[in-house]
Amino acid sequence: AQTVTQSQPEMSVQEAETVTLSCTYDTSESNYYLFWYKQPPSRQMILVIRQEAYKQQNATENRFSVNFQKAAKSFSLKISDSQLGDTAMYFCAFMTPYSGGGADGLTFGKGTHLIIQP
């Protein structure tokens, strides 16, 4: 079984600052996917970024980037030029790849509540 750990229950930064959210995971799988999802007060889960474990290059999406360290089983999210709209819960999630037997559900960390202060 996989586990995902987010050690920062809450973080607060000023608008325009850069913030890094940490995530570690444990798995015996060699191929898998890692995700960061954002859950604003509306509670709609929004995909922020995805990383495939077999790709060494860190994924980036505009102001969002990850630092994926496969050997250390670490997957941190960096948000640059933070904006008020970034205020939300952020969940790190793990998934094994689809196989002939079907898709697997996501394993989530406990989440980090990120607050962007004006």
Output phi, psi for 116, to 5 deg: -100, 120
Quote the least distance from Cβ 20 to other proteins, whole Å.
20
The verdict on 106 binding other proteins (CB under 8 A) reads yes
Q: Closest CB to other proteins among 42 and 56?
A: 42
Q: Work out whether 111 is an interface residue with other proteins (CB under 8 A).
A: yes
Residues 6+ apart with CB under 8 A from 74: 22, 23, 24, 25, 67, 68
Q: Does 57 bind other proteins (CB under 8 A)?
A: no
Q: Among candidates 52, 51, 49, 15, which has minimal Cα distance to 31?
A: 52
Nearer to other proteins, 18 or 44 (CB): 44
55 lines the binding site for other proteins (CB under 8 A):
no
Choose which of 42, 57, 72, 100 interacts with other proteins (CB under 8 A).
42
The dihedral sign for the CA sequence 85, 90, 96, 99: negative
What lies within 8 Å, CB to CB, of 46 at 6+ separation is 37, 38, 39, 40
Q: Which stretch binds other proteins (CB under 8 A): 38-46, 55-63, 67-75, 80-88?
A: 38-46
Q: Which positions touch other proteins (CB under 8 A)? A: 33, 35, 37, 42-47, 50, 52, 91, 95, 97-98, 102-111
